[in-house]
């Protein structure tokens, strides 16, 4: 399933840090077969998610990679991914107000 990616535009006062690919620890809930991240830990900091603004799936061969566009409580935006092959989470991109 593909949903629109919802990230801030370049003229909205945010700047993007690209290609982070840091491993993260995620707490997610599963409701009605849908996975939703609610908080994650990155660089010894807990980030609470205010809203999932988009989600989509990419296929790499037989493997599914689930992506999530997230708006944090602190108003920063994040893109995270969940790899079903090795059940790991990564922070892939960050948009910070600046």
Q: Evaluate if residue 2 carries a pLDDT over 50.
A: no
Give the model confidence (pLDDT) of 42-81 as tens digits: 999 999 999 999 999 999 999 999 999 999 998 889 999 9
Give DSSP secondary structure letters for 10-36.
Answer: GGGTEEEE----EEEEEEEEEETTEEE
Give the model confidence (pLDDT) of 83-96 as tens digits: 999 999 999 998 87
Give the model confidence (pLDDT) of 10-25 as tens digits: 566 656 666 689 999 9
pTM summary value: 0.83
Dig out the tokens for 64 from the structure.
């599914």
Q: Kindly report the number of other CB atoms within 10 A of residue 47's CB atom.
A: 21
Q: Quick check: 68 and 80 in contact, CB under 8 A?
A: yes
Separation CA 42–CA 38 (nearest Å) = 14
């Amino acid at each position: 399933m593909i949903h629109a990616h919802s990230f801030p535009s370049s003229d909205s006062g945010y700047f993007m840090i690209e290609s982070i690919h840091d491993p993260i620890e995620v707490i997610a809930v599963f409701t009605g077969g849908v996975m939703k991240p609610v908080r994650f830990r990155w660089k010894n900091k807990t980030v609470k998610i205010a809203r999932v603004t988009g989600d989509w799936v990419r296929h790499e061969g037989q493997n599914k990679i689930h992506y999530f566009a997230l708006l944090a409580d602190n108003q920063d935006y994040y893109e995270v991914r969940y790899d079903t092959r090795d059940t790991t989470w990564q922070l892939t991109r960050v948009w910070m107000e600046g």
